[in-house]
Structure 1
Amino acid sequence: MKSQLITLFTFLITTYAFAQNASISGTIKDNNQNPIAGVNVFIKNSTKGTQSNSNGSFEIGNLTNGNYILSVSYLGFKTKEINFSLAKNQNLELETITLYEGNEILNEVVIEGERTNKFSRKQTAYVAKLPLKDIENTQVYSTITTELLESQVITNFDDALKNATGVEQLWASTGRGGDGAGYYSLRGFSVQPQLVNGLPGLTNGTINPANVERIEVLKGPSATLFGNAVSSYGGLINVVTKKPYVGTGGELSFTSGTYGLNQIIGDFNTALSKEDNLYFRINTAYTTEQSFQDAGFRKSFFVAPSLSYKVNNRLSFSLYAEITQAEQTNPMFLFLNRSAPTEASNLEELGYNNKLSFTSNDLTLKNPNQNYRIEMDYKLSDTWESQTLLSKSTTSTTGYYSYLFDYGILGNDTFSRFINKQNANTQTTDIQQNFIGDFKIASLRNRVVIGLDYFNATQTDNGTGYAFYGNITPEGGANGDNPFTPEVETDSYPLSTAGVDAVLASQPVGNNKSKYHIYSVYASDVLNITDQLSAMVGLRLDRFDNEGDLTTTEDDYDQTTLSPKFGLLYQPIADKLSVFANYQNGFTNVAPQLVGNPDEGPQTLKTFDPEQANQLEFGVKTNLFNNRLNVTASYYDIKVKDRVITDPASPFNKIQGGEVVSKGFEIEINANPIPGLNIRAGYSNNDSETTKSDNNEILNRRPLEAGPETLYNFWASYEFQTGKLDGFGIGAGFNGASESFAINYESTGEFILPSYTVVNASVFYQANKYRIGLKLNNALNEKYYKGWSTINPQMPRALLANISYTF
């Protein structure tokens, strides 16, 4: 009996082995017949799959005879499905599979495996509003990948942006209504993160990086494709969120650190219906953190559900939502006097005790925030696709906001506190219709996007007026003498809700509501003149309709603007080296102003053209050694013109004659010289100056929003690949800046924030299902500051511990 069982078992194993001996293989190329590596290839309704190698080839073995559907997908290309049949022991070799570029695939397959250059991403569908490799894009942008954030144990958005070349925080998120998100300096101009997945996505508080797939920082004026509502003359910041993928899995992560930091993150993805290609993903996080100062905290909870539904090979839908509940004490910046000399010209003279917060945990702001996005993609043909997008954002602020200002009246570097009760709300709606094409005309390849865009923003403010609430001195003194009353007062001002409410009871409550609309049409074409030479041409027609205060029509006005862009790119070595030049445009709508001598009769309303910013830039990009060395280096020159100033010939007239010039050099390097070692480095130098103005206070001086002249960042991470240390790794790096102006005016003189270099380090162990890491931020305990007419102390040394489990 035993021998019969062995014989039967051997027969079954042999039969199964022969039945599983069929296979399918092939080669995958793009539209230019270049092989594509790393393409996801899998058999639908099975667990069998692989990725193409560096030659674009793949093979899936151990298949039985039968009918199958092969799914071929790659981020940035349109998914292709191929029906095939296998006979017993058949080795089927397919003809070359050609993938056509399209929008980012909703159902991206996640396959574990080694990926070179984890700190670099070389293709995106957002920067040009159509799929374009970085090396063939005439615009410069920095990409901060999720792998880079993971290696640095990043828990907040500000630390994440330190990896973007040429970006410096001006001040942290205040949480106040209207502009409570953080401000950053980029190419000499201030910018806020206001774009999510290529569409408007506002916030009055900090952005939680737990749902971030990557961050894209576009450099230079970008109004042609994105308008002026969400961008600045220096560029824009686009947050790309995590999206559903084919499969089931997720991650749980916990991070704890100095100053009361605790953050727990959950990420789960599953199929709601495999047959219907309906996939769901949810990301959520809860974070609490205290301040290194004597008071201050921040806590937040967010949940981000997303859904993808692929109806068929032509039609797909996606839905994204992010709902945040946050509460914080607003950071107490020291606002320096902008119109009178400050007694101190640097921090040493000021005697600032940066461990003092000058607030209390009883005075907080709540920032509920919601972002929603719906997308429908329809494949019209092999060469044209329709993309319909709708996004809505709601951001609110309720609670107490205060600031400290040096009026220069009481002396001894006394800063007066003013406080109000916030009750503000901003809502935006954006609707876009894009037609994206990839076709040839007379053998010339065209990649085109033609779009319609409607944007609406409504702001409501029902906050109170600001009330005086005591004075402080930077070293810790306090008094109650109101600088705007003749008497010397000794009132006390307790930092409590009861004390503040009693003072604010006499303040008026606002009832303000304003609205504006933007109607736009735009088009952009990337034309391949030859295989190596391409040109990018774009144009936007923008109609701005300002309703202003809804209770009056006196501030209503309309403006129409044309915003062009142009770029040339030459690839001496295809897909490896490109030389580029670009012209990019940005603009700002300008409200009419009253002109005319009031002594000679009623003043009249004078209209103006939109203010313009034009950039000229040239540089090089590389993608060498099979994507192991990516370098972008460029020089740019931005000139802002048509700023409204007082007419030198008449003090009662206004003209458009103000100018600002910002120029500089940037270089960013992403390298993977050997397996396991990833390097990110960046350096920028910016020279900004107000060259024409009627305001002698700022003429021929560096604008405060320009930030430091020089910025640099470096991070390297190495993970052992073999041996007893397999899975262990270390990381180290630094970021820093030259000195910068907190104040730089003719009458006030200069207040200079010192230069700094902050060193960070980490150790980690990466196993199959889990990761353990330790991160030391500001390892040398550097005392440093940032500011924009303000003084904002930064975090001292802090230790973080993280454990993550993947399933």
Structure 2
Amino acid sequence: MLSENLRYAISTFMIMLVSMTSFSQSKNGTIKGTVRTSDGVPAEMVTVSIKNVASTTADRNGGYILKGIPAGNYTITTSLVGVRPSSQEVTVTAGQTTELVLTLNASNQQLKEVVVTGGKTNKFAVKESEYVAKMPLKNLENPQVYSVVSKELMADQIVTNYDDALKNATGVDKLWSSTGRAGDGAGYFSLRGFAVQPTLVNGLPGLTNGSLDVSNVERIEVIKGPSGTLFGSSLISYGGLINTVTKQPFDGVLGDVNLSVGSWGLVRATADVNTPLDAKHKLLFRVNAAFQNQNTFQDAGFRDTRFIAPSLSYRVNDRLSFTVNTQFLKSKSTNATSLFFDRDAPLRTTTLDGLGYDRKKSYTSDDIAMKNPVSSAQGQINYKISDSWNSQTVVSVGSAKSEGFYSYLYEGSQFVPGFPNVPSTFARYITNQNANTKTTDIQQNFTGDFNLGTIRNRMVVGLDYFNRTSIDKSSGYVGVGLVTLGANGTDTGDLTYDNVFNLTNASGYNDTKTTQETYSAYASDVINITPEFSAMLSLRVDHFKNGGFSVADADKYSQTSLSPKFGLVYQVLKDRISVFGNYMNGFTNVAPVTVNDNGTTTTRVFDPEHANQWETGIKTDLFDGKLSGSISYYDIKVSNTVLSVGQNDYTQGGKNYSRGLEFQVNANPLNGLNIIAGYAKNKNKLTEGPADFLGRRSEGAGPEDQVNAWFSYKIMHGAGKGLGFGFGGNYSGKNMILNRATTGVFTLPSYTILNASVSYGMPHITFGFKVNNLTDKEYYKGWSTLEPMAPRNVVGSVGYKF
């Protein structure tokens, strides 16, 4: 029987679907076409504008569209910093689409030189995304806040790993590194007071048991706030989500190879090749590849990766196109040192000095490593139904494996009570992982851009099927020695491969398979009540099923959730300043757990958790795009939280809040000078729940205060043309990584990390050199755990473009 909420949701969808077919003929017209260089190559990132009427930015294929233009005669202008603007006259007829090819005053080679020498306005800024709202929407039009880490910024900083790239996202802080273990082996980060992993690739599931490679990354989008309405329950955090956008084929020829070497034996080689495969440039091919070997800064440990990402696009005609993106990553590594504090006993010490840990000791060996092969494929069919409606059909499949040894250290009670100077002792536990998580996602989206009378509507209506199947044949955990910290510390473990294999092999193996399925329908409409004032109305229906051949019948259950979203945007100055507000919802379908209730084994089933956010703020895009940014205040309240209340026991009904302030800016104040910076403050507290956590900040909330900044300057003229300098870093406030009544509080101190770089760029060759952690600051991360971060290190690179 349908619930009242579900009937209400279906009614809402029907109303929205009816509205799609009932719009009247607009009194305005449309201009669309492509921007090309003087030698006929499509030009992306070019601004196309009609003064005081409308503006947009050409996409990667040079395509542009200006809608809602009143009938009349206009001058349309193309502009890009470093290239002389060009103008063309155009006549707009009511209710009709005018097609116009615009020519930029530069050849393709000249355009490449402009980009290499930093002529692009605000080169780190990305102002439009097809993924944040599941439709093309400018930042100023979107009532949601997001941070973008672009490939240009990563290249400027000579970034060689995904974790370092995320240091540029305001409000994101690392909790722990990728472990490689089954199910949740990717890195964890805090965002608006909640733990989050990078789970999306091109807006679709992109799970990984290891770390992603940055060679195929076009940009990383950190979408703030609970985003269950458009992205569902399985891939989000209440603080937001992390979406990785990959590089796509384009109509042009590109060759880019790079070699980097650095501290601890770093050797990294990358290649990016793009080319049309036919004379008519309908079939386009691109491949990115990477090879990387590096040891750790500790006495043992390494990570070796091999990566390739071929992609293909085929444009059948102006209405129909196909795209296939694939990624294949093979990695072998030791997992990062991780010290787990005893969560059921008082802390022996609450300071790093009292712990006596030497960050250069890994307490592992290169013999106990893990392999993490990851593969994914995404197929997309785009069909232009009409000038107003497009269809997008997407199929995404992925596989993430864990094969090998995972180890961690857990604090034990092997110390003398009453003698706080006795070094802490940790027991080492190791499992032999043999697990695979497979995902399948199928989406059908219809996106529209149409007028109801004089009111513009931009809408997405979609259906989504998501399946995650996990097969686990890993061994149990076994103890392999005791580790005593301190100057005279000892390690009783035999970490040879044969010994560890024999111990884990004797422990027995799992044989489980679990399957989760989600069936969803969603709709979102951005309504321009006036050209300056718009409202976003969104709703999702999510039906979740849990099961598997090793799951008890009582655990096979299903539940249905509703997730609404609402936003308002008013552009005080059109395309320059907007004020916004939003209400957003996120939810989690919590799987059943088996508990021991007074000697009786029972299955406990939970209702969905829900998070609701209210947010308001200001966004800017001033001085012809040279200054963009946002400031916002948010308040997230989570209800029905499932919390641990002892070993293998859980309760539901907890409540907590997470509220804070975020500021981010992206500026190009002078020719050649680019600045990206941000500040985030977060307050977080459990207001209802078990006494052990009540009134306390969550251990996964990260630091209360964070700052990120990067200053990049490139000489544009004269004898030093092409010479560039970079400087910046991160500040992190104190972080309570263990915070319970039972244990007490272990607080990591605040720290500032500074980095600096120098580069020299010519049209075809670039050189770069960077120092990370310039002052050799000792600092740590954690989430009821402790992990040392890297000391000062250097990396140098040379790249060649052809």
Inter-CA distance 598–405: structure 2 relative to 1 (3 Å threshold): closer
Deviations 1:189-238 (A, max 9, x none): 00000100110011111111111100000000001000111111000000
Deviations 1:431-483 (A, max 9, x none): 00000000011211100000000000000110111111111122365667xxx
Equivalent position amino acid for 2:480 in 1: Y
SS at 1:780 equivalent:
coil
Larger CA Rg, structure 1 vs 2: 1
The answer to whether 1:514 aligns with 2:535 is no
Distance 2:543 2:42 in 1: 52
Q: Look up the match of 2:777.
A: 782
Q: Look up the match of 2:263.
A: 258
Q: Look up the match of 1:87.
A: none
Inter-CA distance 776–517: structure 2 relative to 1 (3 Å threshold): same
The answer to whether 1:388 aligns with 2:379 is no
Contact 1:493–1:499 (8 Å) recurs in 2:
no
The answer to whether 1:683 aligns with 2:688 is no
Q: Look up the match of 1:451.
A: 462
Distance 2:319 2:158 in 1: 40
The answer to whether 1:364 aligns with 2:352 is no
Q: Look up the match of 2:351.
A: 346
Instruction: Quote the offset at 1:34 in angstroms.
Output: 11
Alignment of 1:308-327 (within 5 A): 308-327=313-332
Inter-CA distance 701–307: structure 2 relative to 1 (3 Å threshold): same
Distance 2:664 2:65 in 1: 35
SS at 1:661 equivalent:
strand
Distance 1:668 1:34 in 2: 34
Inter-CA distance 270–594: structure 2 relative to 1 (3 Å threshold): closer
Question: Of 134, 144, 147, which aligns to 1:129?
Answer: 134
Question: Of 400, 412, 430, which aligns to 1:419?
Answer: 430
Q: Look up the match of 2:59.
A: 74
TM-score by length of 2: 0.86
Q: Look up the match of 1:440.
A: 451
Q: Look up the match of 1:406.
A: 411
Instruction: Quote the offset at 1:675 in angstroms.
Output: 1.1
Distance 1:553 1:121 in 2: 49
Q: Look up the match of 1:611.
A: 609
Question: Of 192, 196, 202, which aligns to 2:197?
Answer: 192
Question: Of 137, 152, 156, which aligns to 1:151?
Answer: 156
The answer to whether 1:744 aligns with 2:739 is yes
Contact 1:202–1:371 (8 Å) recurs in 2:
no
Equivalent position amino acid for 2:576 in 1: K
SS at 2:700 equivalent:
helix
Question: Of 681, 695, 698, which aligns to 1:703?
Answer: 698
Q: Look up the match of 2:580.
A: 580
Instruction: Quote the offset at 1:40 in angstroms.
Output: 2.7
Equivalent position amino acid for 1:271 in 2: P
Contact 1:42–1:50 (8 Å) recurs in 2:
no
Distance 1:530 1:76 in 2: 30
Instruction: Quote the offset at 1:770 in angstroms.
Output: 1.1
Instruction: Quote the offset at 1:657 in angstroms.
Output: 2.6
Inter-CA distance 56–528: structure 2 relative to 1 (3 Å threshold): closer
Contact 1:281–1:305 (8 Å) recurs in 2:
yes
Inter-CA distance 274–744: structure 2 relative to 1 (3 Å threshold): same
Contact 2:35–2:62 (8 Å) recurs in 1:
no
Distance 1:313 1:457 in 2: 36
Inter-CA distance 115–471: structure 2 relative to 1 (3 Å threshold): same
Percent identity (aligned) = 46
Deviations 1:595-649 (A, max 9, x none): 99869xx8986754311000000000000000000011000000000124699xx
Instruction: Quote the offset at 1:371 in angstroms.
Output: 1.1
Distance 2:370 2:594 in 1: 38
Question: Of 747, 751, 764, which aligns to 1:769?
Answer: 764
Distance 1:624 1:92 in 2: 22
Inter-CA distance 50–324: structure 2 relative to 1 (3 Å threshold): closer
Distance 2:448 2:505 in 1: 60
Q: Look up the match of 1:467.
A: 478
Question: Of 119, 144, 147, which aligns to 1:139?
Answer: 144
Distance 1:783 1:52 in 2: 44
Q: Look up the match of 1:9.
A: none
The answer to whether 1:287 aligns with 2:292 is yes
SS at 1:418 equivalent:
strand
Between 1:269-278 and 1:796-805, the stretch displaced more is 269-278
Contact 2:35–2:42 (8 Å) recurs in 1:
no
Distance 2:45 2:221 in 1: 26
Distance 1:654 1:361 in 2: 38
Instruction: Quote the offset at 1:557 in angstroms.
Output: 0.8
Distance 2:763 2:281 in 1: 31
Inter-CA distance 753–422: structure 2 relative to 1 (3 Å threshold): same
Deviations 1:671-694 (A, max 9, x none): 00111100000000000001100x
What stretches of structure 2 of length at least 5 have no aligned partner?
1-26, 52-56, 67-85, 100-107, 417-422
SS at 1:424 equivalent:
strand
SS at 2:198 equivalent:
coil
Instruction: Quote the offset at 1:655 in angstroms.
Output: 7.2
Instruction: Quote the offset at 1:54 in angstroms.
Output: 6.6
Q: Look up the match of 2:625.
A: 627
Distance 1:620 1:47 in 2: 37
Distance 2:388 2:507 in 1: 62
Contact 1:341–1:408 (8 Å) recurs in 2:
no
Alignment of 1:642-653 (within 5 A): 642-644=640-642
SS at 1:225 equivalent:
helix
Distance 2:135 2:87 in 1: 35
SS at 1:95 equivalent:
strand
Contact 1:446–1:526 (8 Å) recurs in 2:
yes
Distance 1:564 1:620 in 2: 23
Instruction: Quote the offset at 1:33 in angstroms.
Output: 8.2
Contact 1:78–1:99 (8 Å) recurs in 2:
no
Q: Look up the match of 2:24.
A: none
Q: Look up the match of 1:499.
A: 499
Root-mean-square deviation over aligned CA pairs: 2.8
Q: Look up the match of 1:69.
A: none
Distance 2:211 2:45 in 1: 38
Q: Look up the match of 2:17.
A: none
Contact 2:45–2:59 (8 Å) recurs in 1:
no
Equivalent position amino acid for 2:300 in 1: A
Question: Of 352, 360, 374, which aligns to 1:355?
Answer: 360
Instruction: Quote the offset at 1:276 in angstroms.
Output: 5.4
Distance 2:611 2:796 in 1: 45
Instruction: Quote the offset at 1:711 in angstroms.
Output: 0.6
Distance 1:579 1:92 in 2: 32
Contact 1:389–1:433 (8 Å) recurs in 2:
yes
Distance 1:682 1:75 in 2: 28
Distance 1:283 1:217 in 2: 23
Q: Look up the match of 2:666.
A: 670
Equivalent position amino acid for 2:544 in 1: F
Inter-CA distance 560–666: structure 2 relative to 1 (3 Å threshold): same
SS at 2:404 equivalent:
strand
Distance 2:493 2:598 in 1: 44
Distance 1:536 1:610 in 2: 25
SS at 1:705 equivalent:
coil
Inter-CA distance 769–430: structure 2 relative to 1 (3 Å threshold): same
